[in-house]
Structure formats: structure tokens, C-alpha cells
Homo-oligomer: A and B are copies of this chain.
Amino acid sequence: MAQKARVLIDCQDSQGLVYQISKVFYDRKLNIDNNREFVDKEKNKFFMRSVISGDFVIDEIKEALTLALPNDATIRIIEPKSKKIILMATKESHCLGDILIRWASNELEANIEAVISNHNDLKELTNRFNIPFIHIGTEDLSREEHEQKVIKVLDTFDFDYIVLAKYMRILSSDFVDYYPKKIINIHHSFLPAFIGANPYKQAHTRGVKIIGATAHYVTSDLDEGPIISQDVISVNHRLEWRDMQRAGRDVEKIVLARALSFVFNDRVFVHGNKTIIF
């Protein structure tokens, strides 16, 4: 039976890259099921994602590609399989609930190892799905102390990504740097509009006619990480800010789910402060 793998390459752009890469596949009689390239001309950078199938040994292909490509090339060859994730949440249930339902329906493309929360509100919901719920309260703890406790718990798990499903606590740079490109957040505004606290209240005060949500990688710059997915809905003067919050929930959960699907399928390159999504 044929194997499958996702090959993700990025390097300085130069002539012949597609040729060199496809030659490696061709010489091994591999099928290319899917192929996407992009060149950032401003930065002179090449990106390619191929889904290959056939009979191959990953290390051998990696070696061949390394030989064929410039020295600066980053080459990742990933077998398609369920990711392992940790969810972090606070009190709101819509994003967590949506992910739990997808998981229970085998549509998540990831396994939820645990839910960590600074509150107890979501324990019952999580337990309905027999997933470990770990409460790490913040009382009497400095931000650093709390994060150390979280890291200690995280260390007991093997995971690919941390998903902040409405985790309403700011993470320190130290924490974020500890898990580079591994933390995905849903922000309840159409970034970069309404950075910071209570974006729906801000949106209401500003009188906007559209509100939105943004899923992004978390970096040490708050609300400034590479954006993966965004969407919006129309609002009008009849909505008070709590109505906007309510209406926004559906956007938030769908935007987050879409972003997770991109990430779990290895379709995302992080490129400086941006993403390239194939």
C-alpha cells in the first residue's frame, strides 16, 4: 500500500527549484497528489508544499532534497496523522464546545490530550467527553508562578499544539517563547482593529457596521502574531455590545476551527509575521 507524506520546503528563491524538487520525486517514481508553490518576491523567498504518495523512506527523500536544494532550505516531511493538542480555556464554552464536538465526531484531525483552565466553569462540559480537565487557579499567584504551574502540567503531556480556545489571560513572553509556533489563539476582533480588552465593547463604542474574529499564532507581541484566519459578520445600531458578543461567538468558533484545520493538515508556513496557507 502506498505511503503518503506532506513535504514542506522553504528557502531563498532561485532558478530551478521546482525542477530540482520534482526531479527528486520523479527519480523515485513518486506521485505528486497536490503541489503548491509561492514566491515572496519582496523577500525573495520560495515556499512549496507537495503531497507525495508511493513507496519511499522519509529520511532518504529528505537527504536527497537537502542535496538538491540551497543550504538555507528548511525541509519538513510529515506523515499525515492526528496531531496531539492541549486546549486552554477560561469560562466561555462556545469555542471549546465546538472543538469537543468535532473531536467526538472524528472531524478534528487531532486528539485532545487535556483541557487546562484557570477557572472551573468548563469542567462539566469537558467531562461530558471524558477528557481530562485540569484546573490551575490563579489565586495568590503571580503571573510567573501561575505560568510555571501550567508549564509543569504541560510537561507531563506529549503534544504538538496548544490551542487557546478563549483563554482570557495574557501569556508572558517567557511562556510564549517556550512554545514557539505551537500556540494558536482566537481573538474576538478583526485584528488589528480593537487590540486589547473587550473588543466588542470597543466595537460598539466605535459604531462599526461589521465585527469579526481572528485566529493567529501567539508570539510575544500581544495580538500581533501571524494571522491564520479571519472572518466577519454584519452588525447594526440595534445591537448592544452584549449582542455583538453573542453574535461574535459563532464567528469566533468557526474561524478558530478553520485555522486549526489548516494547521493540523500542515498547510501553513509561518513567514515572518505572516502566514502562507496552501
The residue from B36, B38, B237, B249 contacting A275, defined by CB atoms under 8 A apart = B237
- Taking A35-B37, A250-B254 as contacts, is the C-beta distance between A276 and B206 under 8 angstroms? no
The residue from B94, B193, B234, B276 contacting A237, defined by CB atoms under 8 A apart = B276
Q: Is A169 an interface residue (CB 8 A)?
A: no
Main secondary structure of the interface of A (DSSP, over half): mixed
Q: Is A22 an interface residue (CB 8 A)?
A: yes
Residues of B within 8 A of A76 (CB): none
Encode A230-253 as 1/0 by CB contact (under 8 A) with B: 111010111010000010011000
Q: Which residue of the partner chain B has the closest CB to A236?
A: B277
Residues of B within 8 A of A273 (CB): 205-207
The answer to whether A207 touches B101 (Cβ under 8 A) is: no
Copies of this protein in the complex: 4
Closest 4 CB pairs of A and B: A207-B274, A97-B101, A19-B26, A19-B22
- Taking A22-B18, A208-B192 as contacts, is the C-beta distance between A101 and B93 under 8 angstroms? yes
- Taking A22-B22, A32-B18, A274-B237 as contacts, is the C-beta distance between A209 and B227 under 8 angstroms? yes
What would be 6 A-B contacts, judged by CB atoms less than 8 Å apart? A15-B30, A19-B25, A93-B105, A101-B101, A207-B275, A237-B274
The answer to whether B227 touches A206 (Cβ under 8 A) is: yes
The answer for the CA separation of A271 and B237 in the assembled complex, in Å, is: 10
The answer for the CA separation of A273 and B49 in the assembled complex, in Å, is: 29
The answer to whether A209 touches B226 (Cβ under 8 A) is: no
Q: Which residues of A contact B (CB under 8 A)?
A: 15-16, 18-19, 22-23, 25-26, 29-42, 93-94, 97-98, 100-101, 104-105, 107, 125, 128-129, 190-194, 205-210, 212, 226-232, 234, 236-238, 240, 246, 249-250, 254, 257-258, 271, 273-277
The answer to whether A240 touches B42 (Cβ under 8 A) is: yes
The answer for the CA separation of A277 and B18 in the assembled complex, in Å, is: 21
The residue from B18, B42, B257 contacting A35, defined by CB atoms under 8 A apart = B18
The answer to whether B98 touches A101 (Cβ under 8 A) is: yes
Residues of B within 8 A of A190 (CB): 190, 193, 210
Residues of B within 8 A of A205 (CB): 273
Q: Which residue of the partner chain B has the closest CB to A272?
A: B207
Q: Which residue of the partner chain B has the closest CB to A226?
A: B207
